[in-house]
């Protein structure tokens, strides 16, 4: 009986213990659900949700709340913020907490002066509790990685590894030789009706003499294009090969004039059943009234076929006279030559130059224009420096001082040593001050602005460039000056004004890229796209145009397009790889495996 009582007691105790175990297990399980990761930082919010550089600062707000619950009330809670990079960090301190019935609330605005290391840094928020100082954070959350700052990509003329050295600084030229400007002229060699054999007629002989004179004055040939033309006359027949045969015949007649031209620079073409050349002749034709000419133009410019246009032209009063006068002039092969003028001095002048450079007695038999021509002709910066230095001894003019300064600026671009750069820049600034004292010119102000931009004095540079623009209306000068001014506008945060600076016909891919950046920063992605595409057209090896197109694609959610452009950008310029790995604009793109497989760099 006693044994049964003991057994019943043991059974009851076992059941009680089992219930307690199960209850405690449920409690622990429930606790694991109630205590998720970042319990106290789950409501933290960053406004805007990605960090963005505006002007020279990063501005953002951090806000949130910490829950207060009866069994989980935090003890002496603290929330702090830190900006951390691999080699640098900035402690932004604690954020004040305001206690309410159900939670602690916090909100704080920040404005940080941007430093270069912040571009790849992370903004971290941490939660602490307890009285012990220096204790580890109980919770930590990364609010943002990197800073959106495409404006920092603006090109001011700096030199980076693996990139071509850009031309900076503006020479004052005398006008005796404009090396960069190629000249283009067109010549026409005549043929008999329906014939493709070249005839050495008086008219054709005169044309060859004019070609020889042009080539003598412009010996640096860039391109020769020969186009055979076929007249609409019945006597010309319906053979579409006549034009090309005429072009080949003229090529043979030109002989040594084209034999030394590289194959890539000699182009052959023909036109048949095309009114283009008639439109050109009609422009200067005086045989009909202006009204009749406008009527013919209307037909020639419509979208009908060649035959339909031909039938319409025949119905216009006076067209028979036009055909009689102009059609024979279409039995030709046109020779279009693009070439540059002769460079430098002749042999006698060169000997005088060499003698003057070696003399210390001031003897000189060359004119100011000849000295300038010699300096402009040489490609060597050292030779330019020697000539301009001697000119400062012989002539009182701003030209040699300004141009010597440009040489020093360009020499600074060719050294990697920062100390050497600074020495060359300081010498250039002294030369430019002297040039301005002799005679104020916009060139010396522009070049001072370029150096100040390199030195990081953007406001000082901007003032110099503004003064330079006010001194001249020369469109070529303004194009270069306003392009640099626009680049500084982007760094200053005045993006709308920057877009106005780029309303010129540029050829430099960096200027188109800067223009694209300006439009990108104001959210005008249509104009930004056109500018970035133009940058690519001007130079596919530049790379930055592709990067700009990738930014626009990423913002538009076009991941595949963004990857294609990024791959091209990095293939052209390895410097862009590192940037793409930390650019917040590509944060979503970096979450995909395709990002690392598509743009992987060897």
SS3 per-residue string spanning 434-494: HHHHHCCCHHHHHHHHHHHHHCCCHHHHHHHHHHHHCCCCCHHHHHHHHHHHHHHHHHHCC
Asked whether residue 540 is domain-assigned, the answer is: no
Contact 518, 490 (CB under 8 A): yes
The CATH number of whichever domain residue 55 belongs to comes to 2.60.40.150
Dihedral sign, Cα of residue 23, residue 28, residue 29, residue 30: positive
Phi first, then psi: what are they for 484, rounded to 5°? -70, -35
Give the residue from 320, 340, 360 where a domain finishes.
340
Q: Is residue 102 located within the same domain as residue 220?
A: no
pLDDT digits (tens, 9 = 90+) for 320-374: 999 999 999 999 999 999 887 766 677 788 888 888 888 877 788 888 888 988 8
- Of 153, 146, 152, nearest to 584 by C-alpha is 146
Q: What does R_g of the chain's alpha carbons equal in angstroms? A: 38
Give, to the nearest 10 degrees, the angle between helix 559-572 and helix 575-582.
150
What residues have CB less than 8 Å from 213, skipping those under 6 apart?
Answer: none
Q: What is the pLDDT of residue 132?
A: 64
Share of the chain above pLDDT 90, in %: 50
Instruction: Return the pLDDT at 344.
Output: 67
The stretch 281-301 carries a mean pLDDT of 87
User: Terminus-to-terminus CA distance in the chain, angstroms?
Assistant: 88
Residue 88: inside a domain: yes
Place of tokens 């430093």: 115
Mean pLDDT of 299-311: 84
Residue 24 Cα distances to 10, 17, 28, 33, 435, angstroms: 21, 10, 6, 14, 90
Burial (CB < 10 A; 0-12, 13-18, 19+), residue 269, is middle
Helix (H) or strand (E) holding 221: strand 220-229
As for how many domains the chain has, the answer is 3
193 shares its domain with 310:
yes
Do residue 16 and residue 123 come from a single domain?
Answer: no
The three-class DSSP label of residue 409 is helix
Query: Would you say 61 and 143 are in contact if contact means Cβ atoms under 8 Å apart?
Result: no
Greatest mean pLDDT range, 5-14, 19-28, 285-294, 396-405: 396-405
Bridge-based pairing of strands 183-190 and 332-340 is: antiparallel
Which stretches within 223-289 are classed as H helix? Answer: 242-254, 256-259, 276-283
Whether 485 is in a domain gets the answer no
Last residue of a domain, one of 322, 340, 358: 340
**Most confident listed range (339-348, 368-377, 454-463, 531-540):** 454-463
What confidence tens digit (pLDDT) does each residue in 62-87 have? Answer: 999 988 875 567 778 899 999 999 88
Query: Which band of pLDDT confidence, cut at 50, 70 and 90, is reported for residue 263?
Result: confident
Are 130 and 199 within one domain? Answer: no
* DSSP reduced 3-state for 109: strand
**24, pLDDT greater than 50:** no
pLDDT of residue 349: 82
Instruction: Provide the sign of the torsion angle of the four alpha carbons 108, 113, 114, 115, taken in this order.
Output: negative
CA distance 547 to 123: 25
238: domain CATH number? 3.30.1330.60
Question: Would you say residue 163 lies in a domain?
Answer: no
Q: Do 229 and 329 fall within a single domain? A: yes
Mean pLDDT of 243-247: 94
CA 230 to chain centre: 43
Euclidean distance between CA atoms 404 and 544, whole angstroms: 31
Indicate whether 27 and 50 sit together in one domain: no
pLDDT in tens, 479-501: 999 999 999 999 988 999 999 99
Give the pLDDT band (50/70/90) at residue 175: low
Is residue 294 domain-shared with residue 199, that is, in the same domain? yes
Q: How confident is the prediction for the chain on average, in pLDDT?
A: 86
Residue 289 falls within a domain, yes or no? yes
Identify whether residues 331 and 265 lie together within a single domain: yes
Position 461 in a domain = no
Question: Residues of the chain with pLDDT > 70: what percent?
Answer: 89
Q: What is the pLDDT of residue 365?
A: 87
Residue 591 is classified by DSSP as G
Here the tokens at position 308 are: 């339909």
What is the DSSP track for 11-76? HHHHHHHHHHHHHHHHHHHHHHHHS-TTSSSTT-EEESSS-BEETTEEEEEEEEEEE--TT-PPSS
Q: What is the mean pLDDT of residues 548-555?
A: 93
Mean pLDDT over 285-311 rounds to 86
Which domain covers residue 214, as residue numbers?
183-340
What is the average per-residue pLDDT within 403-418?
94
- The pLDDT of residue 34 is 36
For residue 377, name the pLDDT band (cuts at 50, 70, 90): confident
Higher pLDDT, 41 or 179: 41
- Contact (Cβ atoms closer than 8 angstroms) between residue 466 and residue 424: no
- Rounded to whole angstroms, how far apart are CA atoms 251 and 482? 45
Pair (81, 191) in one structural domain: no
Check residue 84 and give its pLDDT. 92
Q: Which two tokens stand for residue 257?
A: 């004039």
Backbone angles phi, psi at 79, to 5 degrees: -125, 125
**Which secondary structure element, helix H or strand E, spans residue 142, and what is its range?**
strand 139-145
Residue 562 has pLDDT above 50, yes or no: yes
CB atoms closer than 10 angstroms to residue 327:
17
Q: Is the pLDDT of residue 20 over 60?
A: no
Average confidence (pLDDT) over 509-525: 94
Chain segment 140-162, per-residue pLDDT in tens? 999 999 899 999 999 998 887 77
| pLDDT attached to residue 547 | 94
Residues 131 and 140 sit within 8 Å (Cβ to Cβ): no
* 240 and 324 housed in the same domain: yes
- Give the C-alpha separation, 188 to 258, whole Å: 16
Residue 566 lies in a domain: no
- Tokens found for residue 481: 């000056």
The 10 Å Cβ neighbour count of residue 595 is 20
Q: Are 140 and 253 part of one and the same domain?
A: no
Q: Which residue has the higher pLDDT, 247 or 274?
A: 247
* Section 580-587 average pLDDT: 88
Look at 122-126, 131-135, 264-268, 555-559 and tell me which has the smallest mean pLDDT: 131-135
Please give the structure tokens belonging to residue 133: 């100082």
Residues 6+ apart with CB under 8 A from 395: 368, 371
Q: Which of 502, 442, 499 is closest to 469 using CA atoms?
A: 442
Integer Cα distance of 54 and 397 in angstroms: 44
- pLDDT at 7 > cutoff 50: no
Q: Among 310, 325, 340, which residue terminates a domain?
A: 340
Per-residue pLDDT at 500: 94
Give bridge partners of residue 98 from the DSSP assignment: 105
Structural domain includes residue 242: yes
What number is the average pLDDT over the span 99-121?
A: 90
Query: Once rounded to an integer, what is the mean pLDDT over residues 422-446?
Result: 96
Checking if the pLDDT of 300 tops 70, the result is: yes
Task: Please state, as a whole number, how many other Cβ atoms lie within 10 Å of the Cβ of residue 188.
Answer: 18
- Does the pTM surpass 0.85? The reply is no
Question: Dihedral sign, CA of 178, 180, 181, 183?
Answer: positive
Q: Are residues 14 and 51 in the same domain?
A: no
Nearest by Cα to 79 from 42, 126, 43, 124: 126
Per DSSP bridges, beta strands 183-190 and 139-145 are unpaired
Check pLDDT > 80 for residue 404: yes
Exposed e or buried b for every residue in 273-302, given b needs 16+ CB within 10 A?
eebebbeeebeeeeebeeebbebbeebbee
């Amino acid at each position: 009986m006693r044994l049964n009582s003991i057994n019943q007691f043991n059974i009851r105790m076992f059941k009680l213990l089992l219930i307690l175990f199960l209850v405690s297990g449920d409690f622990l399980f429930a606790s694991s659900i109630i205590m998720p990761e970042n319990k106290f930082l789950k409501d933290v919010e960053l406004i805007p949700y990605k960090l963005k550089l505006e002007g020279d600062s990063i501005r953002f707000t951090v806000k949130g709340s910490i829950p207060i619950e009866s069994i989980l009330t935090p003890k002496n809670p603290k929330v702090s913020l830190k900006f951390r990079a691999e080699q640098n960090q900035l402690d932004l301190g604690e954020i004040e907490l305001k206690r309410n019935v159900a939670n602690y609330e916090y909100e704080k605005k920040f404005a940080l002066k941007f430093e270069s290391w912040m571009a790849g840094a992370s903004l971290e928020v941490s939660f602490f509790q307890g009285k012990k100082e220096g204790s580890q954070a109980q919770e930590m959350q990364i609010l943002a990685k990197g800073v959106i700052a495409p404006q920092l990509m603006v090109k001011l003329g700096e030199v980076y590894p693996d990139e071509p050295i850009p031309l900076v600084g503006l020479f004052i030229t005398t006008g005796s030789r404009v090396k960069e400007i190629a000249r283009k002229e067109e010549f026409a060699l005549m043929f008999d009706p329906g014939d493709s054999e070249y005839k050495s007629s008086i008219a054709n002989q005169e044309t060859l003499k004019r070609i020889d004179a042009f080539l003598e004055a412009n010996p640096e040939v860039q391109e020769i294009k020969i186009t055979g033309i076929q007249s609409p006359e019945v006597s010309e027949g319906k053979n579409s090969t006549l034009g090309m045969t005429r072009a080949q015949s003229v090529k043979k007649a030109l002989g040594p004039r084209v034999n030394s031209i590289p194959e890539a620079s000699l182009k052959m073409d023909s036109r048949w059943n095309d009114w283009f050349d008639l439109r050109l002749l009609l422009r200067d034709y005086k045989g009909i009234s202006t009204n009749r000419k406008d009527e013919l133009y209307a037909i020639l410019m419509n979208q009908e076929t060649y035959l339909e246009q031909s039938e319409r032209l025949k119905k216009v009063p006076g067209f028979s006279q036009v055909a009689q006068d102009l059609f024979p002039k279409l039995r030709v092969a046109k020779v279009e030559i693009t070439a540059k003028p002769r460079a430098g001095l002749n042999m006698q002048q060169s000997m005088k130059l060499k003698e003057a450079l070696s003399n210390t007695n001031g003897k000189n038999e060359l004119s100011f224009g000849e000295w300038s021509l010699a300096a402009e002709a040489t490609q060597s910066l050292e030779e330019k420096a020697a000539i301009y230095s001697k000119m400062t001894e012989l002539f009182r003019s701003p030209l040699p001082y300004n141009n010597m300064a440009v040489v020093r600026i360009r020499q600074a671009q060719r050294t990697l040593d920062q100390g050497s750069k600074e020495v060359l820049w300081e010498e250039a600034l002294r030369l430019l001050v002297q040039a301005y004292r002799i005679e104020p010119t916009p060139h010396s102000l522009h070049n001072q602005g370029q150096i100040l931009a390199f030195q990081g004095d953007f406001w000082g540079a901007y003032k110099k460039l503004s003064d330079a623009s006010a001194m001249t209306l020369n469109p070529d000068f303004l194009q270069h000056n306003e392009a640099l001014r626009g680049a500084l506008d982007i760094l200053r945060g005045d993006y709308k004004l920057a877009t106005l600076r780029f309303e010129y016909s540029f050829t430099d891919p960096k200027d188109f890229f800067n223009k694209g950046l300006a439009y990108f920063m104001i959210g005008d992605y249509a104009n930004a796209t056109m500018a970035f595409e133009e940058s690519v057209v001007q130079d596919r090896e530049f790379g930055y145009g592709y990067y700009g197109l990738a930014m626009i694609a990423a913002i538009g959610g076009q991941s595949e397009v963004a990857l294609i452009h990024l791959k091209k950008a990095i293939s052209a310029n390895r410097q862009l790889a590192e940037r793409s790995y930390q650019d917040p604009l590509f944060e979503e793109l970096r979450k995909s495996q395709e990002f690392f497989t598509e743009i992987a760099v060897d």
